[in-house]
Amino acid sequence: MKNKHKKLDAWIKSMAAMCKPDRMVWITGSDEEKERLQKEAFATGELIPLNQKKLPGCVYHRTAENDVARTENLTFICTSKKRDAGPTNNWMTPSQGYAKAGAIFKNSMQGRTMYVIPFSMGPVGSPFSKIGVELTDSIYVVLNMRIMTHVGTEVLKHLGSNGVFTKCLHGKAERDINRRLILHFPEDNAIWSVGSGYGGNVLLGKKCMALRIASYIGRQENWMAEHMLIMGVEKPNGHIHYLAAAFPSACGKTNLAMLVPPQGLRTKGYKIWTVGDDISWMRIDSDGALWAINPETGFFGVAPGTNSQTNPNAVKTAKQNTIFTNVLLKPDKTVWWEDGDGPTPSQGMDWRGRPWNPKMVDEQGKPVKGAQANSRFTSPIKQCPTSSFRLEHHHGVPISAIIFGGWRASLAPLVYQAFSWPHGVYTGATMASERTAAQYGKQGEVRRDPMAMLPFCGYNMGDYFKHWLKMGSSMTRPPEIFHVNWFRTDKNGEFLWPGYGENLRVLEWIIDRCEHTAEAEKTPIGYIPTQRSLDMTGLQLPPEKITQLLSINKQEWKNELDDQEMFFSRFGKDLPAELREELSALRERLNNSR
């Protein structure tokens, strides 16, 4: 199809003049195109074919060793005023950004092909959706974008001759960490990413557009772009409640989004519908409620730890048409990763491309991993056994509850409900995860991550909090807001709560609260379940453990408030007064409680 969009044409020409590719190829989204690109990438070694009998449609990719995760220190919001990027983002002026990245992009595509990927975040043509065009010199990026978004001719047709699009430029350049930049220009609706080949830095529809740029646009257009999973919980009576949940990385968002109900609740008739595992775009609809779409069409999931116990639905999803990145390659051309399924292979090629066996140790005597800790699978969401029948609905799904969560070894009870929308916003704004002995870093160190958006908010986070408050007051039927903590431990450091599928017991209480049918006790921090309001059928959990899971330690909470106050002080006068007031009100409730 011929491009009739003059601005798009001019932009592509000027980017090509800078990068100097040998060729330009428009991505149509056809099956034939996928075959052709794969073949090309097999020939250069960019991709390795996998065993088509055991893993039909699957391919393998390795990134450079220094290019295995998002590089937050090289990620910038480029706005005219520093204040607009706020205290939690790295900042440059747009002219500095264009000059610095431009010097790296210059001539970087000589000898290479520039692919033009028109893509839609969200169902094509939906009023919720946004169009982007990514220019890239990476076939790996093209193939991932084909899974993660709607791409090709259909999107271009929709863009027409004058549609608005986010200008996304990606180049691998030398993949040198010293010549790598991930830049966002919200004032220009543009993204420039150079020097990386790692998904989170280069699939520009994902974190860069669907969170950083979209959060900026959402504020202007009165909607929200959030780092949230979306799931439907179907009750025994057939009613489906949709929940949106934000957790910092490594707190099990993907697992929760496709959980398998435990026997007791399955027998009762509960079912799960997965809408998304990472990003939620939410708008107020004509009914005064909040409706959400998942702007993505795939999962870019972390492989290690994913197995038939922790997430059987993800295992099934990744059995075909999947791109595996940085996992272990077995001699039979299938894949494996630590804490995955099956026996540990006796040999293979590790994520660095070196011969590997499970007895190998590094200089410090630690086992050498076959798969990189952040190795990934990219799979179409439609292949998930629980994928929602609402994925392509233009207005998405109505959200009954928003859930915030973190990893807190103590402090936060299993679940509590905020008293009001502003109290819920305060709960999200003070979200945190702490490191335990089992994790890297200093034990007990608390990392604040408001709404799990710290690395993803494309503007001043003080303004972001104001936007949340404003959205709440614009709704006649706002979702209820909750906080969960699956990670509370006893005095021996053992988890009190079994997690995984059992988390549905907590979600059941949450939806019953939304329907005003579940009992709760009012505490200074919010409403918590009464013991008998949680259905524990089939779960052998001693009542004293439930008491511990739901207990609130006043002194711990007072210390927490001191820490929250310090965090809030970073925002200076940009912090909305309502959040300070919520903090003071909580302090007072704690002081006044027995």
Separation CA 450–CA 427 (nearest Å): 9
In the bound complex, what is the minimum distance in angstroms from residue 70's beta carbon to ligand OXD? 6
- Chain positions 250 to 279 lying near Mn ion, rule: CB under 5 A, are 278
Q: How far is the CB of 249 from ligand OXD (least distance, A)?
A: 4
Whole-number Cα distances in Å, 18 to 41, 110, 464: 24, 10, 35
Q: Which is nearer to ligand OXD, 200 or 396 (CB)?
A: 200
Instruction: Count CB-CB contacts under 10 A for residue 551.
Output: 14
CB of 375 to ligand OXD, least distance (A): 12
Region of 587 (left: φ > 0; alpha: ψ -120 to 50; beta: rest) is alpha
Residues 430-469 that bind Mn ion (CB under 5 A): none
Our CB check for ligand OXD shows the closer of 104 and 452 to be 452
> How far apart are alpha carbons 123 and 523 in whole angstroms?
42
Q: Which residues bind ligand OXD (CB under 6 A)?
A: 70, 200, 249, 278
**Of 16-35, which residues contact Mn ion (CB under 5 A)?**
none
Do 312 and 49 meet the contact criterion of CB atoms below 8 Å apart?
A: no
Residue 43: count of CB within 10 angstroms of its CB: 9
Residue 378 one-letter amino acid = T
The answer to whether the beta carbons of residues 449 and 432 sit under 8 Å apart is yes
Interatomic CA distance for residues 156 and 528, integer angstroms: 50
Measure the CA–CA gap between 204 and 296, rounded to whole angstroms.
12
Selection from Mn ion, ligand OXD, none that 232 binds (CB < 5 to 8 A by kind) is none
Could you tell me the smallest distance in angstroms from the CB atom of residue 166 to ligand OXD?
19
Q: In angstroms, what is the minimal distance from the CB of 182 to ligand OXD? A: 13
Distance CA 167, CA 186 (A): 10
Report which of 536, 560, 435, 558 is spatially closest to residue 487, judged by C-alpha positions.
435
146 binds, among ligand OXD, Mn ion, none (CB under 5 to 8 A by kind): none
The residues carrying an active-site annotation are: 251
Choose between 41 and 302: whose C-beta lies nearer to ligand OXD.
302
Sign of the four-CA dihedral 289, 295, 298, 304: negative
How far is it, in rounded angstroms, from Cα 403 to Cα 509? Answer: 12
Q: How far is the CB of 198 from ligand OXD (least distance, A)?
A: 10
Output the six-digit token pair for 519.
């009992």
Residue 296 contact partner, candidates ligand OXD, Mn ion, none, CB within 5 to 8 A by sort of partner: none
Q: Which is nearer to ligand OXD, 99 or 250 (CB)?
A: 250
Nearer to ligand OXD among residue 46 and residue 278 (C-beta)? 278
Burial of residue 264 (number of CB atoms within 10 Å: 0-12, 13-18, 19+): middle
Cα separation of 571 and 564, whole Å?
Answer: 12
Residue that has been written with the tokens 């074919």 in this structure: 49
Phi-psi region of 204 (alpha: psi -120 to 50; beta: other; left: phi over 0): alpha
Q: Where are the alpha helices (DSSP H) in 374-439?
A: 421-429
Minimum distance, C-beta of residue 122 to ligand OXD, in the bound complex (Å): 18
Q: Which residue minimizes CB distance to ligand OXD?
A: 249
Cβ 67 to ligand OXD shortest distance, Å: 14
| Partner from ligand OXD, Mn ion, none contacting 369, C-beta within 5 to 8 A by type | none
Q: Give the one entry of ligand OXD, Mn ion, none that residue 523 binds, where binding means its C-beta sits below a cut-off of 5 to 8 angstroms depending on kind.
A: none
Give the nearer residue to ligand OXD in terms of CB position, either 278 or 434: 278
Place of tokens 């989204």: 29
Q: Which does 200 bind (CB under 5 to 8 A by kind): ligand OXD, Mn ion, none?
A: ligand OXD
Contact, 248 vs 215, CB < 8 A?
Answer: no
- The count of residues interacting with Mn ion (CB under 5 A) is 1
User: For residues 453 and 575, which CB has a smaller minimum distance to ligand OXD in the complex?
Assistant: 453
Q: Which of 151, 154, 113, 118 is nearest to 133 (CA)?
A: 118
Nearer to ligand OXD (CB atom), residue 250 or residue 577: 250
Per CB under 5 A, residues contacting Mn ion are 278
